[in-house]
Structure 1
Amino acid sequence: MEQTIIHHMETVRKITEQTIKKIPENISDIIPKGFNNNIRWNFGHIALVQEKLVFGLLGEEMKIPKNYEQFFAAGTKPVKWEETPPSFAEIAGVLTEQKTRIKDFLQGRLHEKLPTPFTNRGGITFYTVGETFLFSFYHEALHIETIKRLYRSISSI
């Protein structure tokens, strides 16, 4: 079952990697009416949250750039960015590298208990790394759908 779960992560991430390659970076910072964030924010947010759910909650070192927290954490907004955000190439590289690290790190650890149970903003409490990892697929898919909605909205302008 563990190999099936890892394979599913690779499939979900492949969709994300293909999506970032298809979208022109020059439209990634547009925030259409009715949206809070832009395409770049959503891709960076996927990387940051995945890192936290797999590594951060276990107390492991998070190996994504430190500035991802200020740009892409829940509650942040591109309209408040005071520095230049990471490029698409950088975010794409982080997403790809992260996939490999996760695959190596999680072998035999899906049932490992978190040091402290984690309750997300939706009120769901997770007790193991496997639970948070499985939730991350749902989270990533939600943001890919948002990216697609943003892209359609921008393309219709």
Structure 2
Amino acid sequence: MALELWRSIFGGKTEELEEEYGDSWRIEFDDSIEPEKPAQDWFKYIRGAFARFQCSKCKKTWPSRRVLVVFHFHLNKREKKGTVKARRFQQKCRRCQEAKMEEPTFDPDNIEVLLEKLVEKIRFRCYRENLGKNNRGFRPVGRSVGPHESAHCEACLRGICRKAE
């Protein structure tokens, strides 16, 4: 269900690209992509956003202001098809022993902002458009208090967390 929401919002954000350039775009989720190693001729975009998590063992929930999402994107100009691969980084519960990494849940407004910013990057990188600065930010849903816990953050454990930004 959540992935369908991402696909639906992305489809709406890329309609103009199809109208203006005749290119169709799709988004897929791939937890195997390496953030700093896009395939040849692919671009990367890494962004932090506010999301929530829930432990599958104890059901504890927690918010996080800096959940990384990595996008790799490519436009095949001959076929007029664009592809985005997305990876949402996970966190684990600090309370449970042997907790597993949990998927983030993003508020629909924050998915909108993430994908809006991604499409700006696509327009800049693939179509050489300069759209200026758009400062639309993320909406916190709930409160996020306390320090970022690097030991429970997948992005920190992989050395790519941008918690200092």
TM-score, normalising length from structure 1? 0.31
Higher relative contact order (CA 8 A, sep 6+): 1
Give the strand-richer structure, 1 or 2.
2
TM-score, normalising length from structure 2? 0.30
